[in-house]
Amino acid sequence: MRAKIDNFKCTGCRLCEVVCAEAKFKESNPRKAALRVQGKFPAPGTYQVKFCTQCGMCAEVCPEGAIEEKDGVYRINPDLCTGCLACLPVCPEEVIFTHPDLRTPIKCDWCGECMVACPRRVIRLKNS
């Protein structure tokens, strides 16, 4: 599954972050989202959505084999993950996150909730 991002449409509302955290953790905490909206200042109103492209580099470096691919989506298996964080520095998009409440990193699993919630259709599947 591949997505395309139209950053020119992004208003920086960060609804995608809130929805992501709600879908993954059942709480309204954008710091637990598996994507980020970055303000590109000093240019006012310019934002960039950073998300996992499912490149698999994280899986290649995981010493425990805890990042598993299925149908083109890489997911962290919490039963295998030791929290070594070897996956963080290799992510080219810098979208594997940690949170003090969690033992394992946060990574996008392509649930699609961000696409559904975005009122401006910033995140879309490539074929839509």
pLDDT at 59: 98
Q: What would the two tokens of residue 85 be? A: 């964080």
Assess whether pLDDT exceeds 60 at residue 128: no
The pTM score is 0.90
The mean pLDDT value for 47-72 works out to 96
- Residue pair 118/16 in contact (Cβ under 8 Å)? The answer is yes
- CB atoms near residue 95 (< 10 Å): 20
Q: What is the mean pLDDT of the chain?
A: 93
Architecture of domain 3-123: 2-Layer Sandwich (3.30)
Q: What would the two tokens of residue 68 be? A: 């598993």
The mean pLDDT value for 70-76 works out to 95
Q: Residue 119: which pLDDT band, with cuts at 50, 70 and 90?
A: very high
Asked, as a colleague might, if the bond just before 42 is cis with ω within 30 of 0, I would say: yes
Q: What would the two tokens of residue 83 be? A: 């929290």
Instruction: Please state, in angstroms and rounded to a whole number, the distance separating the CA atoms of residues 114 and 119.
Output: 10
The mean pLDDT value for 53-72 works out to 96
Q: What would the two tokens of residue 38 be? A: 């970055």
